[in-house]
Structure 1
Amino acid sequence: MKLKITLQNQRKELFTEVENFDPVTFVEETKKIETVLIPIGNLIVNKHHIEYITPVDEETVV
């Protein structure tokens, strides 16, 4: 599954691939993590800078 991660303020869009993604579980697990850097697919992002995470299809990723 491909994901688009949009970061706050910078309006930067990052793309990564994950086996599966459940938004509810993601939020619950990131609340438990004490560090601010979290891995999502092959990216490491600051959890406080994430604005959106959306699944994308093959045609969307350019």
Structure 2
Amino acid sequence: MNPTAGGFVTVYPADTTRPVASNLNFTPGQVIPNLVVVPVNNGKVSFYNRYGDIDLVADITGYYTG
């Protein structure tokens, strides 16, 4: 991730209101793996980073059927 400041990332369905909960919290210089299950809206998800800059890698895998 290589964050320049402590903060958090929130992942949520695209074109929806960002939730108040974070999915990943970090401090400067950390590299952190994480797994998040997020609904997809029109084939998209949104990522929100609070504070500083980060290098973020996202792999999209799998799906659920109802």
Q: TM-score, normalised by structure 1?
A: 0.28
Structure with max Cα Rg: 2
Q: Which has the higher strand share?
A: 1
Q: Which has the higher helix share?
A: 1
Q: TM-score, normalised by structure 2?
A: 0.27
